[in-house]
Amino acid sequence: MSKCVLTEAGVGEGTLNTEILVCSSPECEIECPERLTAALDGLRQRGLEQRCLRLSACEASEEDLGLVHSPEYIALVQKTQTLGREELQALSKQFDAVYFHPNTFRCARLAVGAALKLVDAVLTGAVHNGLALVRPPGHHSQRAAANGFCVFNNVAIAAKHAKQKYGLQRILIVDWDVHHGQGIQYIFDDDPSVLYFSWHRYEHGHFWPFLRESDADAVGQGQGQGFTVNLPWNQVGMKNADYLAAFLHVLLPLAFEFDPELVLVSAGFDSAIGDPEGQMQATPECFAHLTQLLQVLAGSRICAVLEGGYCLESLAQSVCMMVQTLLGDPAPPLLGPMVPCQSALESIQSVQRAQARHWKSLQHSVAPGLSRSTHSPEGRSLPLPAESSTCAVAEEALSPLLHRLCLRPAPPVCTAVALTVPGAALALPPGVLHQEESALREETEAWVRLHKSRFQDKGLAALGKILCLLDGLLDGQIRSGIATTTALAIAATLDVVIQRCLSHGAQRLLCVALGQLDRPLDLADDERILWLNIRGKEAAVWSMFHISTPLPQTTGGFLSCLLGLILPLAYGFQPDMVLMALGPSHGLQTAQAALLAAMLRGPVGGRILAVVEEESILQLARTLAEALNGEAPPSLGSFLMAAPEVTQALMFLKAQLEPRWKLLQVAAPPPGSCSPVA
């Protein structure tokens, strides 16, 4: 089954907005056909297009358009095909930031058609996910109005189509375009079956489209209250850490609680660095991470549809990052300090406050409070240089990325296993390498002696294989691995593995240890290791690099721990490798283990070694291997709120750790101000 589909419309199909005769406004010149050719060229150059199934679009029917738009409006747009230049200009002026051309109707219908074809391909199971490269964009368009370069609302029509044709009951729309997709908001305002999330440049209402209803307190109407989620950015210059914090602390908690059957992405890349409209500073690889974070939802059924994005270089690279991730590759490491800025934290806080009464997962995200005096180290959000030069600035920032991508070829082996149990019993997915070879006995024993560890025979044999697997990981021959060993040997094995990584030059190792596994004593003060114990009931901060947190029993508790603690720590630490150790009586369910592994791939570029005590490997192995390979983790089951003691423990930990790990700053309302359920 192909993993990713590209559908396209509007490339070379007419020359919308390029004929100066028809359109002489400099504004409309940015929404140009080169946007699509630049994106496609980028995909081709990086060998990504070749890995996708490519579908071509056909024009959507009038019935399709009628799912969202009024018959009169459709007729009006249809009529533009026959209008002359002056009439087109006159009609365009009836709308805000709209430029009709004789080809507009056909292009806009193709754009809708492409989005629908993509939804069909994903919902029939022909592909896992896809991106529709289309123009004109859609998210500003309304029932009876064109707006902001948008004619028909591609994504809104796609959502209606998915509901109508496939009977879907919960669809998540993630709008990461830098503008507010007010069109989508209006269309689903009172509809609880569509959760619409949008972040957007807002500047307290001083940025286009200048709407009061773009602010965080617009949450939807009637039955739809809580199903519109607006995150207004009040400053330009938002960076990777700001976008990441928004996903971890707002979008993902709500999305898991909502439990969508399909994720639609209004994928505008004017929120990326270099864009003259957005003036933001998130780098292209950020979109790989955003995509990867969404891939744990809805069985990974994602349909993305292009919206804005006007810096061709940044657009092309961001599109590549997204497609590469949709194809299952792990996201490249995120650059920049993982410190959200004050203004971003305030925005996040305002959404949490506005949405708290509608979402259980937010009611207790009440953090100890970000004191007003806390200033993020860098005072920034300086406006970028004059608009004409933003693309040039971005190009400088962008070229090193290209370089890095070429220097870091994908490892030949995705996932390898070193087992102490018969592999045949585990039903591992195809493509997994069985590590049968062992390190030399003398070498293994030398490690053991060096480390004064004790091993039984079976444990020693297991260690030999694990060392071999580890060398593959450290040399970049293998991306990720699963190793088993005996209950007796697991602590000592971990010990040796850590020493081996350090002696190989690892700078930062994240150990997520479940069950009774203690941090090796001789490494107590080594800041190259971040040790996170998840077990029992204890919450303790031994140091900024040695933390214990309880293993929550409910889905809500587990998710708060994962999104609110583990991932912010992991992204802040930026490890070279993650060791995920499941010790005796670790208590982790299979779906939880898979989700943990899937989400930890992000901060570490997929380099995860899971060391599992052999008793529990039988049920875990297959799902864990799939998660490491980038496949959708199974659902955690229905949402149950975190127990109060878990919430307490997490609040305690966050308060202690915040000074060092700034992504933990949630900026939730102070206790007590959390609005009571209406």
Q: What residues line the site for ligand X5A (CB under 6 A)?
A: 97, 137, 140, 148-150, 177, 179, 208, 268, 270, 307-308
CA-based nearest residue to 613, from 468, 470, 496, 515: 515
Closest to ligand X5A by CB, 307 or 631: 307
Comparing every residue's Cβ against Zn ion, the nearest one is 308
Q: CB of residue 139 vs Zn ion: minimum separation in angstroms? A: 8
CA-based nearest residue to 512, from 561, 556, 452: 561
Closest to ligand X5A by CB, 148 or 333: 148
Q: CB of residue 178 vs ligand X5A: minimum separation in angstroms? A: 7
> Angle at CA 67, nearest 5°, toward 66 and 69?
50
* Region for residue 380 given its phi and psi (left: phi exceeds 0; alpha: psi -120 to 50; beta: otherwise): beta
CA-based nearest residue to 511, from 454, 617, 582, 459: 582
Q: CB of residue 147 vs Zn ion: minimum separation in angstroms? A: 11
Q: CB of residue 179 vs ligand X5A: minimum separation in angstroms? A: 5
Q: What is the DSSP string of 596-630?
A: HHHHHHHHHTT-EEEEEEGGGHHHHHHHHHHHHTT
**Which of ligand X5A, Zn ion, none does residue 148 bind to, with CB < 5 to 8 Å depending on kind?**
ligand X5A
**Which of Zn ion, ligand X5A, none does residue 646 bind to, with CB < 5 to 8 Å depending on kind?**
none
Task: Give the footprint of Zn ion on this chain (CB under 5 A).
Answer: 177, 179, 268, 270, 308
Q: CB of residue 317 vs ligand X5A: minimum separation in angstroms? A: 18
Closest to Zn ion by CB, 228 or 485: 228
Closest to ligand X5A by CB, 175 or 626: 175
**Which of ligand X5A, Zn ion, none does residue 578 bind to, with CB < 5 to 8 Å depending on kind?**
none
**Which of Zn ion, ligand X5A, none does residue 97 bind to, with CB < 5 to 8 Å depending on kind?**
ligand X5A
Closest to ligand X5A by CB, 308 or 669: 308
Q: Output the six-digit token pair for 613.
A: 């005590």
**Which of ligand X5A, Zn ion, none does residue 515 bind to, with CB < 5 to 8 Å depending on kind?**
none
Taking residue 63's Cβ as centre, other Cβ atoms within 10 Å add up to 7
Give the whole-angstrom CA distance, residue 216 versus residue 199: 9
Q: CB of residue 155 vs ligand X5A: minimum separation in angstroms? A: 11
Sheet holding 478-485, edge to edge: 433-434, 413-418, 478-485, 608-613, 577-582, 509-514, 529-534, 546-549, 540-543
Instruction: Please give the helix or strand (H or E) that residue 548 lies within, else none.
Output: strand 546-549
Q: Output the six-digit token pair for 580.
A: 């995920």
Give the whole-angstrom CA distance, residue 235 versus residue 204: 9
140 catalytic residue (yes or no): yes
Catalytic residue among 140, 180, 358, 586: 140
Closest to ligand X5A by CB, 226 or 308: 308
Is the preceding omega at residue 520 within 30 degrees of 0, hence cis?
no
**Which of ligand X5A, Zn ion, none does residue 149 bind to, with CB < 5 to 8 Å depending on kind?**
ligand X5A
Comparing every residue's Cβ against ligand X5A, the nearest one is 308
**DSSP E strand boundaries for 372-423:** 413-418
Residues designated catalytic: 140
